[in-house]
Amino acid sequence: MTKYLVFENQPSSGQVNAPGSREAMASEIADAVSQGRMPPNFYIAHSIDDPKATFESLKELAKFTVEIDDTTAELWVNEIQALVQKAHNVDDAIGEAIGGIYQAMVAYNDAIENSSQFKDLTVLSTKALDRTFEYFEVESAYEVSTLVEEIYQVESIEHHGA
């Protein structure tokens, strides 16, 4: 079992984790737990035994720790990556659904408000739309995120400003 420190990669760092490496995997795992869906190389990971980890720790405190062994690495590649991707697809579908319904709601509300005789009809609440999908989004993403957090013993490190 190897422990990795995951940092936010500075755009000027010029560093990236090698694709397919355990470090890249640790970064993906951290992103899955944070549900941030950050772009590739937003995070950079170093094994805790790597001297770079110590150096990076001094520069900027790590955001997450992630533990990976051969079995969980295989599990990530063979099963969990697909679950994370499918959960992202649900998120994307939610985003598209909200956009389409929101536009249609606004068009309907405008039609009612601009009419001469139908102003008494109830307009649609865009707040209800947000509430509806908030629940859906939380439920679909939560399970995968929790699963990943448990299996890879991900710890989120909170930093308190001076």
Partner 1 sequence: MPKYLVMVRSTKSQAIHTAGSIEETVCEIAKNLLHFRGPADGLMAIPADTKIATFAALKDEALCSIEVTDKTLATWRKDVFVIEDAINSFQSARDHAETMLDRALADLDEAYESSSGFNDYTPSNDISVYGALDQLGANDLEYNFQQALREMYKFNSLKIVPM
Total residues in contact with partner 1, by rule CB under 8 A: 45
Structure-block tokens of residue 56: 């990076």
Among 42, 50, 97, 155, binds partner 1 (CB under 8 A): 97
The residues, ordered by sequence, that sit 6+ positions from 76 with a Cβ below 8 Å of its Cβ are 25, 28, 29, 68, 152
Among 96, 150, 153, 157, binds partner 1 (CB under 8 A): 96
Contact string 99-128 vs partner 1 (x = CB under 8 A): -xx-xxx-xx-xxx-xxxxx-xxx-xx--x
Beta-strand ranges (E) seen in the chain are: 2-8, 43-47, 64-68, 155-156
Decide the pairing of beta strands 2-8 and 64-68: antiparallel
Q: Which residues bind partner 1 (CB under 8 A)?
A: 75, 79, 82-83, 85-87, 89-90, 92-94, 96-97, 100-101, 103-105, 107-108, 110-112, 114-118, 120-122, 124-125, 128-129, 131-133, 135-136, 139-140, 143, 147
